[in-house]
């Protein structure tokens, strides 16, 4: 605990010499799976993200158990059978905006960005690239993106019985609003 406090104090001192990092604790991340058999949708409203405007570094972290489905049984299967969330409770992204100089973090506007980094799901890490936007509005900043994830790439096993009900490629959406730390 003491080590953690010391670490925090040193980080704060270090950060005071940098531009303020932006933090989001209620990031909205949701995904869709569309098949002729079934449409599946789940929402996570507690994603955490840190964005450093000076370097373009961007990180996301989220809890798998925080994904909410309309149908209770879908949430159970998602956690127990596909994501094994008792073993792997989180998913994360660690990367950066490839073109941070295209974004004027001090001027209101909507900027097109590309983000590149490592996405870790089900304890498997893969490099990903995603396009998105950053909207600057006064003191707040909102990052939005839409990209696709292939469950098979992350060793997420879909049993043949339900193969027809779950899309091979899942559409993921991100909407995160940051404030100064």
Partner 1 sequence: MSKKIWLIILFIVLALIAAFIVWRYTFRKSETTAASMKTDFYLDASTLLREFENNEDSANYRYLDKVIVVTGTVESVTSDSLSVSLYLKETDAISGVICSFDRDALDPVTIQAGTTVKVKGICTGYLMDVVINKCSLE
Q: Among 167, 156, 176, 165, which residue's Cα sits nearest to residue 32?
A: 167
Assess 69 for contact with partner 1 (CB under 8 A): yes
Least Å from the CB of residue 66 to partner 1: 4
Assess 37 for contact with partner 1 (CB under 8 A): no
Q: How far apart, in whole angstroms, are the C-alpha atoms of residue 112 and residue 134?
A: 7
Q: Among 171, 173, 169, which residue's Cα sits nearest to residue 156?
A: 169
Q: Using CB under 8 A, which of 22, 29, 51, 62 touches partner 1? A: 62
Assess 77 for contact with partner 1 (CB under 8 A): no
Q: How far apart, in whole angstroms, are the C-alpha atoms of residue 15 and residue 27?
A: 23
Place of tokens 């964005």: 51
Q: Are 89 and 64 in contact (CB under 8 A)?
A: yes
Q: How far apart, in whole angstroms, are the C-alpha atoms of residue 45 and residue 60?
A: 13
Least Å from the CB of residue 32 to partner 1: 16
Assess 172 for contact with partner 1 (CB under 8 A): no
Query: Among the candidate windows 21-29, 100-108, 124-132, 134-142, which touches partner 1 by CB under 8 A?
Result: 21-29
Q: Using CB under 8 A, which of 18, 55, 70, 150 touches partner 1? A: 70
Residues 87-126: x/- map of binding to partner 1 (CB under 8 A)? --xx------------------------------------
Q: Using CB under 8 A, which of 32, 35, 41, 75 touches partner 1? A: 75
Reported for 112-117, long-range contacts at CB under 8 A and 24+ positions apart, including other chains, are: 113/143, 115/58, 115/145, 117/58, 117/93
Q: Using CB under 8 A, which of 73, 106, 160, 161 touches partner 1? A: 73
Q: Are 108 and 139 in contact (CB under 8 A)?
A: no
Binding site for partner 1 (CB under 8 A): 1, 4-5, 8, 23, 25-26, 28, 43, 45-46, 48, 61-63, 65-66, 68-73, 75, 85-86, 89-90
């Amino acid at each position: 605990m003491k080590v953690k406090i010391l670490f925090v104090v040193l980080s704060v001192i270090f950060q005071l010499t940098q531009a303020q990092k932006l933090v989001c604790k209620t990031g909205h991340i949701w995904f869709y799976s569309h098949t002729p058999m079934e449409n599946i949708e789940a929402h996570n409203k507690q994603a955490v993200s840190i964005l450093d405007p000076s370097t373009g570094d961007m990180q996301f972290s989220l809890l798998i158990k925080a994904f909410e489905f309309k149908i209770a049984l879908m949430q159970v299967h998602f956690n127990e059978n596909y994501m094994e969330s008792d073993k792997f409770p989180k998913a994360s992204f660690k990367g950066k905006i490839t073109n941070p100089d295209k974004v004027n973090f001090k001027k209101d506007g909507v900027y097109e960005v590309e983000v590149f980094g490592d996405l870790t799901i089900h304890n498997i890490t893969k490099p990903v690239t995603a396009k998105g936007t950053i909207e600057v509005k006064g003191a707040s900043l909102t990052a939005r993106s839409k990209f696709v994830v292939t469950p098979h790439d992350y060793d997420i096993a879909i049993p043949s019985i339900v193969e027809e009900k779950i899309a091979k490629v899942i559409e993921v959406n991100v909407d995160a609003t940051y404030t100064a730390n």
